[in-house]
Structures are given as structure tokens and as C-alpha cells.
Structure 1
Amino acid sequence: MSSNDIVVGLDIGTTKICAIVGRKNEYGKIDILGMGKAESAGVTRGVVTNIQKTVSAIQEAVKIAAEKSNVDIKVVHVGIAGQHIKSLRHRGVIVRGNGEDEIGNEDITRLVEDMHRLVMQPGEEIIHVFPQEYTVDAEHGIKDPIGMAGVRLEGNFHIITGQVTAAKNIYRCVTKAGLQVADLVLEPIASSEAVLTEEEKEHGVALIDIGGGTTDLAIFQDGIIRHTAVVPLGGNIITEDIKEGCSVMRKQADALKVRFGSALADEAKENEIISIPGLRGREPREISVKNLAYIIQ
């Protein structure tokens, strides 16, 4: 098995850390070889808050994935999220020396590199630059200008930024775990590559990924990424509400959410009751499924 065909993804989430191993097949698709996960105790709302706990969880998840896939994992592609992630739009322009020459990849590269040189707020850095559409000599709405002739080449770009310290802490955790980072990918972009088809992106689609500490959003239209966002709210908020509303332990609240949770209270049955074992011989606590749904809703 060629190591060039193997790819490993690492998702450092608020509630769990996952490592997944895949192999590119002859059709260009990814066959999953193995997956490992570990509880995440050092991440809050997508941001590393405890280096050692995060390192230990990464090592555990990677070890499980390596054993299941029979692959020696050294290099990983890492997802990044968190409330520090921002997105903005910017327009770039270059003037070419000879309008008779065809526009080539080097012209596109010049535009993209110009975007990477934008001055950010202190403590921020550019993570991704996505071309949206181009203008060639006042001809608007061009998706791929390569091969066209023109003097003035303009481009609209979707730029994603994040905190330098947040990215460095991710690199530090992965390195301390004995791994090398191949690249850092915004998690909603990675999710869209995994689950969205080209037809959906062309027609227009919003991808929403609700995690434990954050909710990721990516919006596509005409095959182009239009907007990305990371909202610092996730499933843990619901767990905390159930814990307080039902006066149960956090572990019990999470189990209630997973097994019996519903966001539509009107569809819950009036007479359906869940019995929670009492602590140290105390009476069991009875919780209405409808009340549980009202808390979640």
C-alpha cells in the first residue's frame, strides 16, 4: 500500500477528538480504513484550552485509528474551528503587461498571493483564500479566466481568518503528539467536501454542522463558497439546559438528549415518562418526554 494513497484527517472537537484513515481508490474516491475517537477534555468551543489533555486525547484517537487501519500514522490533515474564525470579502486587481497573451495560472496565483498579503488585525492570520469570480477588461461574472486575453484582471475573494495563537496551539498539540501537520482546514469547508455534491453547490445550499461547542456554517451558490461562519453555540448548551431544567447529572442530561431528545415539543406524547435512577438509594426521578422536548426547543 503506497503511503501517497493514504490520507488521515484529525478533528479536534469540543466533546471528542476523532482520527480517520482513508485510502484513495482508482476512482478518485476515499475508502475508509479505520477510525478512532477519544473524549476531548482540553478544548472549549473549538479552541484548545489545555495542551496536555488535548495531546493525550489526540494520541489515544490516533492510536485506535492506526490499529484499526493497520497504518503507521505520521502526517495528518487537521480541522480548525472556534469563535475566533471570521470571514470577509475582498477584491483584487492586477494589470498585465501584454493583453494579447493568454491569462495563465501564474496570473491567478499573483492575485491570490496579493490577498495573502492583506494587513489583518493584530493577532489574526489568513487561513484560506477562495476565488469567487473574475472580471477581465470589464467582462463580469467569469468563473475561470484561464486562456482568455485581457489587460486588467480582477477577482472577488472569500477570505477566512483566525487567531494566530489558536492555530499555533493546534500545531503545538499535534506536534507534541508525535505527528506532522500536512495542512490546516476550516472545518465547515472540510465538511462540505465530504457531504455536498457539485449539483447542490451549484443550485445553492447551506451546510450546518452542530458540534458540542460550536456550530459551523458554509453557504454555496453557483458552485462558489459565498459565506462561512463558526457560531460559539453547540449541543453542550442543550445538555446544560436539560441538566438545570430536569435537575439531573450532566452525564444523565447528555444521555436524555441523545436517546429521547426532540426539538418539536408538539409531536412528543403527553403520557410518555422517562425514569432516572436515584442516587444512593433515593427515589427515581420521573421526567416527561414532552417537558424534555420543550427544554430542547
Structure 2
Amino acid sequence: MVFSLDLGTRNLVGILAEIDDDENIIINHSFEKEHENRAMMDGQIHDVNKVAKGVKRILESINEKTGETPHEVAVALAGRFLITTTGEYELDISSQGYVDRPQVRKIELEAVKEATEKLDYSKGMYCVGYSVLYYEVDDEWIKHLEGQKGKKAKVKVIAAFLPKNVVEAMLTVLEMNGLNPIHITLEPIAAMNLVVPEDLRTLNIAMVDVGAGTSDIAISNEGTITGYGMVPLAGDEITDAITKELLIDFNSAEKIKKDLINKDSFKYKDILDFEHEISKEKIMEIIKEPIDKITSEISNKILELNGKSPVAVMLVGGGGKVPSFKEKIAEYLELEENRIALKSTDSLTKIKFEEEKMFGSEYITPIGIANSALKKEGNVFNSVTVNGTVVNMMMIGTDLSVMQVLLQMGYSPNQLIGKPSKAITYELNGEFKIKKGNLGKEAMIKINNQKANLKSKVKPGDKIELYPPEKGEDVEVTLKEIINSINYFLNGEPKKIYPKVIIDDNEVSINTQLKDGQKIKTVTPKVKDIVEEHSESIYFTLDNVPYEIPGEFTIIRNDQIVDEEEIIKDGDSFQVKRLKLPKIKEFIDTDVKTFEVTYNGKKINLEKEKIYIKNGSKNTDLDSQVKSGSNYKIIKEEYKPNIIDLFSHLDIDTKNIKSFDLKINGEKVTSFMQKIPENSTITFKYNG
């Protein structure tokens, strides 16, 4: 069973139908609703929301009657702004047994594709239907290609195109109601397939579907459809004339127009609330001019498409019911009036009604849409498969991507791209922050076993494999990634330092992993932190005892010594100067044993021990500054002082002495290098 929907300018008609083994169209249910406030004009959707609302009412009626709501639909478009072109395609069939139905479909669509290449797609046109002009096998005409054998098969088609905005407005209406279009065609194609079947196409017949907004035309001759056309004039022009002349609303004028078939006079109330009565003859005078205009335009379009008057004209649609309409067509085409017929559904033997009957010319197109869908005639949809499921897509006149196919199937973007990992929220110095989660990986996609992605283009018949997307990896962030460093220069070299970080009253490393919900405080670094960051301690040993001396610096900024408590600003430039290191003697006990002597009656203590410092095998002076990495040894040895040692206590310059008298314990001494015994008495007289 198929659900077909005719979005007419005035009315919406929905049909649930199926086809039996004898190709009879069985109408199970039909539903009709009128648009509100002229949501469509001249066959084109002007108010998407209002038209979508009307479709929703149709679906609600279907659900009330059947208990189910259809999700797939066959539709047709009116031919406003219609463009037609022809296309051909030839296929080598020599290596196969016979041509099957899928191959016929492929050949037809390749011919349609060739037709599309003749158009300027910068104007945005969609193919909305096509008809086969002829088939050939080995250069010979054949009525049907399916089942044929030979070396080559050929097809020529006539394809119909409408502007992109016209088609997409229709698709939007369907999407808003959860309807997936499985068949789309042109209204005159649908009507023609119903009222002018193949056997009648040997005759040169014009079929005219006179609706409310447009009059769609199709021409048959020599067994095929030879042309499609459209005139943007139809029944609404007649209704508008009545509205303006009688000063009544559109719906009241529409009712008068419809009743012209069976009533001779009409009572009405105008917009000023005055009541009137008017005869049918008077109404016919009012509408004479628009009828002349419409029928003249239709006739001229037929002559343009056909090159001459056809042998017969079949009128369908509600607009063609108006008295004198078909007579005017006959007049302009110079045909006998009996060559112009108003075709009604009750005259078609292949239509069967299960319930309420839909008799009238206005139901030809709605039933024709169902007929075309059931017989798969003139459909521009083609199929791809996604994980084995067949998806029908409009694939002529536009390039489709994998994403568009999957969205039509009902996938949401969230199902195609893995969920992002959980975000981390935290507070930094009182300001709420969010670290977004990592994006998920999109689903892995293959087209015909070749790796693809959501943007890859899709061709008819492609097999798409879709795998589950991957969730984004958990967020791993260190404090260093969320806290800015302060950049500065130290002795000309670029450096950086991070603020101190406090979490839960504890200082933590800048490399600590961030956790959700943490409250972080930072302390701007001060000048003293540079000393701590960059100072190097001095390490040495003294008699195998280790010592550490922290480096001491003076920090200078702009030739000024900087207080250690000042904060560091981004871009600061500092000079660091190390203070002098301590001497070795500051770390040892320099006291030694002494003894007393009397010098010229004065008591003086002389050392009887000496201290030596060795760094490895080398002697080092006690007044030397300590060096990092040194291993100092303290050596104390017994020592016998001499006269020179005594003089060092007396500040005597021996170089200026010319003569002297030196005695130790009364004995004369002639050398200043004479050793001095303990408790000696020394006398010294000299000239200098």
C-alpha cells in the first residue's frame, strides 16, 4: 500500500491505495482538507508552516480511521517555472543474458543524468520527474526494454526540472510531519500516466490539468510523451474575478464558481453586509475575460509544445469544470468540441474504490500520483543501502552526502559523532571555569568497502556501512595548562616562573593533575622566588663533615636593588649578582697552643702549633673563600717559633735594621731564625 499526497493550491488530498495483479488501482481510503488562508499560490508553497499544518490534519484523519500513521509518502509537484531537457544513454549488454528491471532503471537514470548536465546548475534546479521517449536494442525501436537481449541498449528521456526552492519547500513540509518521500514526480506526469496510458500515446493528445494556481500540460504522440509545459493561470483567476466584481470573500466566490455547473442563480452577502441575488448569465459575463485569457494561454502553450493542434485534448482538474472552458479551448485550437473532453475518475475503468468514491476531474492528479508510485513511473528517487536497509533519496540534480542519507533515515548528529567526554569544572581565584571534554570520534563509514566520512558523496546503488562512533577520551589536564606563567629575563636570558598554587590550603606542584570541582588559588611570585628558583647552594666537606652554604644574591631591576617582597611582572628584566663567599677559617676553630716569653720586660704569647688546610693534595690558605665540591682537611702540627715569629707580634720591619744586639736567656743570638724555647727571656736592641 502507498500513501500519496497531492498538495494542490486550494486543497490537500491524501490517498491510501494499492495495486492488484491486474494493475487495477484500489483506493482504500481518501482524505481531503482545504488549506487555510491561501498558504499556496500558483502551485507553489508560500507558507511552509500552514501547509505543514494541513498535512498534519490529513495524517490525523488517517490515524483516526486506520489506527496508524504513515511515515512514507508519494508526492508530485506542479510545473511552475518548469524546464525540460532530453538525455540519452547507451549500455553494452552483449555480455549478459537479458536486461533486467534494475538495469532498465540504471539506464534511464543515466539518461536523466545526461539531461541534467545540459542545465546551468548555478540557478539551482532539481529534476522532479521524467518520461521515456523511446528504447532501442541494436538501433531498433522497442516498446519495452526489460527482458530483451542484444549487443547494446539505448534510451532517450525527457526530464523535467524545477527550482531548488520549490522542491525543498515541499521536502520541508514532509520533514516537519515525519514523512519520508519514497516517490516524487511532476503533476502532469502523474495525470498523464493515468488518463493517457501507453496504448493511447500513439495519438497526438494534449492533457491539461487545470488546477487552482497552474495549468499543467503534457503532450503525447507516436507512443511516447513528447513534451511538458505549464501556464501560471488557472481556477483562482476565475474566482478572483468574481471576488472583485461582487465584493465578496474568496471562499464565497469559490463556491459560486463551483455551483455554476448545476445552479442558475445565486444569493450572496457582500463585505458591506448587503444581500444580493445574481443570475448565472451575469456570472458568466464576469468570468468571460479570465476564461478567455486562461484558455488562450493554454492553447498557445499547446501549440508551442506540439507545433500544431493535437487531435484531442483531455482536461482534468477542478478548474476545467467551469462552463464554456472546454468550448474555448476548442475554439482557440480550431478543434471540434467533441475533441475536447473533461476526464473524470468515474470514466477510468482501472480505478476501484473500497469505500467512498472520488468522482470528478479534480481527483485525477491525486489518484495519478498514487498510480505512478505504485507502478514506479517517472520517479527521480533512487536507493542506497545503509547496513542493509534500503533508503530512497532524490539523487538527480544535487550531490548528496552520507550525512544527508543518514539524517533522512532518522539518525541524529549525536548518533553519528561520539559523545564528548565529561567536562571538568573548577574555580580559579574565585572565577568559575570549564574545561570542555574531548570531542568524540565520528562513526567509521565505508562506501562499497572503501573508507569514507560523513561528507563523502553518494551515488545510486552505493552500499554504506556505518559503525558506532567512539566516545571522546577523558580530559587530562595539569595545573600548568590552565595557569599562565610569568615571563621575565634573568641576566639577559628569557625565563618563566609559575605562581604558587594552593588547593585546600596546601601548596601543590604546577604539574598536579586537575580534578573536577577543585577550588584553586594562586599566589603571584615575588622577587625572592627568583632567588629560590635560580640560586645554587655551595657544598663542601671539612674533615668529612658536609657543609651547605645557600647562594646569596642581590637582585637589580632598572639599576635599582629590588626588595625581595616585590612581585614579578610579565616582561620584567633582572640582573642577579652573587655576594662574596665566606672564608675557610670561618668554619674551623683556629685556637692553638701557646707559651709565654718575656721580651724586653714584656710578656708575649707565641704559638707552638700551626694549622694547615689541605684540599686533596694541595695546601689551601685559611683566608681562601670556600669552593663548591671541595673536601677540606684540617691538620695541626707542633711548631717551634723563631725570632721572626716574635717580631710579627711586635710590628718590627727587619729590613731597616742596620745593627742589633739580640739575646735569649742572656745568650747572644746572631740569626733571626733562632728558635725560641718556652719561658725564655729575650732582649733586643737595634739601630735602624
Common topology (TM > 0.5): yes
Contact 1:33–1:69 (8 Å) recurs in 2: no
Contact 1:47–1:82 (8 Å) recurs in 2: no
- Please name the residue that 2:220 is paired with: 220
2:287 maps to 1:296: yes
Q: Judging changes above 3 Å, is the alpha-carbon distance between structure 1 residues 65 and 234 closer, same or farther for their aligned structure 2 residues?
A: farther
The alpha carbon displacement at 1:177 in A equals 0.9
The 3-state SS of whatever aligns with 1:212 is coil
The alpha carbon displacement at 1:87 in A equals 1.7
| Residue type of the alignment partner of 2:277 | E
- Please name the residue that 1:46 is paired with: 43
Q: Judging changes above 3 Å, is the alpha-carbon distance between structure 1 residues 101 and 174 closer, same or farther for their aligned structure 2 residues?
A: closer
Query: Which of 1 and 2 has greater Rg?
Result: 2
2:245 maps to 1:255: no
CA distance in 1, matches of 2:273, 2:90: 75
Contact 1:246–1:287 (8 Å) recurs in 2: no
Q: Judging changes above 3 Å, is the alpha-carbon distance between structure 1 residues 290 and 36 closer, same or farther for their aligned structure 2 residues?
A: same
- Please name the residue that 2:69 is paired with: 72
The 3-state SS of whatever aligns with 2:202 is helix
The 3-state SS of whatever aligns with 2:213 is coil
Structure-to-structure mapping, 1:94-133, within 5 angstroms: 94=90, 96=92, 104-105=99-100, 106=103, 109-110=106-107, 112-117=109-114, 118-119=116-117, 120-121=119-120, 122=122, 123-133=124-134
2:267 maps to 1:275: yes
Contact 1:261–1:292 (8 Å) recurs in 2: no
Q: Deviations over 1:51-77 (max 9, x none)?
A: 111110001012213333444311110
Task: Give the % identical residues.
Answer: 20
Task: Between 174-183 and 245-254, report the one with greater CA deviation.
Answer: 245-254
CA distance in 2, matches of 1:203, 1:250: 40
CA distance in 1, matches of 2:105, 2:252: 54
2:16 maps to 1:21: yes
Structure-to-structure mapping, 1:141-152, within 5 angstroms: 141-144=141-144, 147-150=148-151
| Residue type of the alignment partner of 1:191 | A
CA distance in 2, matches of 1:65, 1:216: 29
Contact 1:102–1:150 (8 Å) recurs in 2: no
Structure 1: which 5+ residue stretches go unaligned?
A: 1-5, 263-267
- Please name the residue that 1:287 is paired with: 278
| Residue type of the alignment partner of 1:30 | I
Q: Judging changes above 3 Å, is the alpha-carbon distance between structure 1 residues 287 and 78 closer, same or farther for their aligned structure 2 residues?
A: same
The 3-state SS of whatever aligns with 2:148 is coil
- Please name the residue that 2:510 is paired with: none
Q: Judging changes above 3 Å, is the alpha-carbon distance between structure 1 residues 82 and 222 closer, same or farther for their aligned structure 2 residues?
A: closer
The alpha carbon displacement at 1:196 in A equals 3.5
- Counting matched residue pairs gives 279
CA distance in 2, matches of 1:66, 1:28: 27
Task: Between 73-82 and 111-120, report the one with greater CA deviation.
Answer: 111-120
| Residue type of the alignment partner of 2:55 | I
The 3-state SS of whatever aligns with 1:202 is coil
The alpha carbon displacement at 1:135 in A equals 4.8
Query: Which one scores higher on RCO, CA 8 angstroms, separation ≥ 6?
Result: 1
Q: Judging changes above 3 Å, is the alpha-carbon distance between structure 1 residues 29 and 84 closer, same or farther for their aligned structure 2 residues?
A: same
Q: Judging changes above 3 Å, is the alpha-carbon distance between structure 1 residues 243 and 95 closer, same or farther for their aligned structure 2 residues?
A: closer
Q: Judging changes above 3 Å, is the alpha-carbon distance between structure 1 residues 206 and 66 closer, same or farther for their aligned structure 2 residues?
A: farther
- Please name the residue that 1:85 is paired with: 82
The 3-state SS of whatever aligns with 2:70 is coil
The alpha carbon displacement at 1:156 in A equals 2.8
CA distance in 2, matches of 1:261, 1:31: 29
CA distance in 2, matches of 1:97, 1:179: 38
Task: Between 112-121 and 227-236, report the one with greater CA deviation.
Answer: 112-121
The alpha carbon displacement at 1:278 in A equals 5.2
The 3-state SS of whatever aligns with 1:245 is helix
CA distance in 1, matches of 2:18, 2:90: 40
Contact 2:91–2:107 (8 Å) recurs in 1: no
- Please name the residue that 1:193 is paired with: 193
2:50 maps to 1:59: no
CA distance in 1, matches of 2:230, 2:93: 41
Contact 1:87–1:159 (8 Å) recurs in 2: yes
The alpha carbon displacement at 1:213 in A equals 0.7
Which has more helix, going by share of residues?
A: 1
- Please name the residue that 1:231 is paired with: 231
Contact 1:132–1:158 (8 Å) recurs in 2: yes
The alpha carbon displacement at 1:27 in A equals 3.5
Structure 2: which 5+ residue stretches go unaligned?
A: 289-688
The alpha carbon displacement at 1:130 in A equals 2.5
CA distance in 2, matches of 1:58, 1:167: 16
- Please name the residue that 1:211 is paired with: 211
- Please name the residue that 1:35 is paired with: 30
Considering only aligned residues, what root-mean-square deviation do their CA atoms show, in Å? 2.9
The 3-state SS of whatever aligns with 1:165 is helix
State TM-score, norm by structure 2: 0.37
- Please name the residue that 2:164 is paired with: 164
CA distance in 1, matches of 2:129, 2:178: 26
The alpha carbon displacement at 1:168 in A equals 1.5
- Please name the residue that 2:397 is paired with: none
CA distance in 1, matches of 2:107, 2:53: 41
Contact 1:130–1:157 (8 Å) recurs in 2: yes
Q: Judging changes above 3 Å, is the alpha-carbon distance between structure 1 residues 250 and 74 closer, same or farther for their aligned structure 2 residues?
A: same
